[in-house]
Amino acid sequence: MDNGFDTIKHGTVEILVEEQLRTKLSAGRPLRVKAGFDPTAPDLHLGHTVLLNKLRQFQTLGHRALFLIGDFTGMIGDPSGRSTMRKALTREAVVENAATYTDQISKVLDAEHTEIVFNSTWMDKMPAADMVRLASRATVARMLEREDFTRRYKNGQAIAIHEFLYPLIQGYDSVALQADVELGGTDQKFNLLIG
Strand order in the sheet with 181-183: 114-118, 64-69, 32-37, 181-183
| Per-residue pLDDT at 135 | 94
**Is-above-0.75 flag for pTM?**
yes
Residues 6+ apart with CB under 8 A from 139: none
Secondary structure (H, E, C), the chain: CCCCHHHHHCCCCCCCCHHHHHHHHCCCCCCEEEEEECCCCCCCCHHHHHHHHHHHHHHHCCCEEEEEECHHHHHHCCCCCCCCCCCCCCHHHHHHHHCCHHHHHCCCCCHHHEEEEECHHHHCCCCHHHHHHHHCCCCHHHHCCCHHHHHHHHCCCCCCHHHHHHHHHHHHHHHHHCCCEEECCHHHHHHHHHC
| Per-residue pLDDT at 17 | 86
**pLDDT tens-digit profile of 110-156?**
999 999 999 999 999 999 999 999 999 999 999 999 888 999 999 99
- Residue 122 sits in a domain whose CATH number is 3.40.50.620
**pLDDT tens-digit profile of 27-62?**
989 999 999 999 999 999 888 999 999 999 999 999
Domain that holds residue 171: 5-194
Task: Residue 119: name the closest of 168, 52, 170, 55 by CA.
Answer: 170
- Asked whether 35 and 67 are in contact (CB, 8 A), the reply is yes
Whether the per-residue pLDDT at 2 is higher than 70: the answer is no
| Per-residue pLDDT at 1 | 43
**pLDDT tens-digit profile of 151-172?**
999 999 999 999 999 999 999 9
- Total number of domains in the chain: 1
Residues 6+ apart with CB under 8 A from 191: 78, 80, 166, 167, 170, 171, 184
| Per-residue pLDDT at 98 | 94
| Per-residue pLDDT at 195 | 66
CA-to-CA distance for 12 and 54, rounded, in angstroms?
9
**pLDDT tens-digit profile of 51-98?**
999 999 999 999 999 999 999 999 998 888 778 888 888 999 999 999
